[in-house]
Amino acid sequence: MGKHLRPGQAHVQPTVIRRRAAIAHPAGAVVSGIQACHADLERARRSLAGLSLGDAFGDRFDGPPGQVRAQLQRRELPGGPWRVTDDTMMAMAVIEVLSEHGRIDQDALAHRLGTRYLREPARGYGAGAHQILARIAAGEHWSRAARAVFEGAGSMGNGGAMRAAPVGAYFADDPARAAREAARAAEVTHAHPDGQAGAVAVALAAAWIANGTRRPELLFERVLAMTPAGDTRTVLQRAALLSLATPVTEAAARLGSGRRVLSSDTVPFALWCAARHLGDYQAALWSTVAGLGDRDTTCAIVGSLVALAPGVLLPADWIAAREPIDGL
Ligand SMILES: [Mg+2]
């Protein structure tokens, strides 16, 4: 992890500091803009820590369903090191941009995504992401590269959603802004509106969880309030009506669990899993991976969300099993 992620370092640029001159502290005191920004970054970084751990955990269950189910039944942790994948690579780029700009600067994000892709292309990027990021890395403008797939329609895959929770965490005090910035972060690679809608939904969930509420039944209400129309929203509406007591395999069958690597068959299931286990990171991840499908990504999204819930701790033995990432 880059140097920008460590809290307490006074290197935040003036544009960031100007975002809020001062905010009221719950105790009535006023904290400086710099402190406020560090708090925003710290939340985003916490989300990234949960994301990277979920990503690496989920990716280690990438075997045949029968073998994975037996592993899950025994709750047998996979051997290390757990390698992180594209989900983490892209989320790290997002946080670097937030740290430097205090907002999603799309040109800066495209540059960082392209640079990371070029440095390590074998991090499990999907076929569409390979195409788009290779074009961006070669110097093509992101707005053209993002439209170069699916006959110009752009991707409605889950790549925007997998990196959206840190954006929601950063802008947790302003959910409408969180939604806008998450859409901008997705748009760099996902030109299709539904690829952006998934990112909006995840960012809204992150903002809501970071604000400390403990009533999981409200999660979908808050998310649906600002998620634009489209396939992802339609399945989110179904997820909202699905009891949190439903067996996870049934939820995966009804909502999808990323087998088609679309926003619409990934995000609703991930949000449902997060709502189901809001206070317990390990239970959330064991449950999510049991849905099979796009395991690294569903676990990355759920991990990025549940890590934001008050009092939730990431398991130290899991962190020790994950490949070392500076600052996480
Ligand atoms: Mg991945």
The residues pairing with 23 across neighbouring beta strands, listed in sequence order, are 31
Tens-digit pLDDT profile for residues 269-278? 999 999 999 9
Check if the beta carbon of residue 149 is closer than 8 Å to that of residue 225.
no
What lies within 8 Å, CB to CB, of 63 at 6+ separation is: 71
Distance 69 CA to ligand 1 centre (A): 20
**pLDDT at 140 (0 to 100):** 98
Q: What is the total count of domains within the chain?
A: 1
If you measure from the C-alpha of residue 239 to the centroid of ligand 1, how many angstroms do you get, rounded to a whole number? 23
- Quick check: is 156 in a domain? yes
Is 327 domain-assigned? no
Q: Give the percent of the chain with pLDDT over 70.
A: 89
Structure tokens belonging to residue 64: 């045949």
**Pick from 121, 142, 138: nearest CA to 130:** 121
Ligand 1 centroid distance, CA of 123 (Å):
7
> Does a structural domain hold residue 326?
no
Ligand 1 geometric centre to CA of 151 (Å): 24
pLDDT above 80: residue 22: no
Tokens read off for 275? 């709502």
* Distance (Å) from CA 35 to ligand 1 centroid: 33
Which residues keep their CB under 5 angstroms from ion ligand 1? Answer: 85-87, 124, 296
Work out the mean pLDDT of the chain and round it to a whole number.
90
Cα-to-centroid distance, 19 and ligand 1 (Å): 32
Distance 144 CA to ligand 1 centre (A): 24
Q: Structural domain of residue 266, as residue ranges?
A: 3-321
**What's the pTM value of the predicted model, to 2 decimals?**
0.89
Q: Is residue 229 part of a domain?
A: yes
> Which CATH number covers residue 76?
1.10.4080.10
Q: What is the pLDDT of residue 27?
A: 37
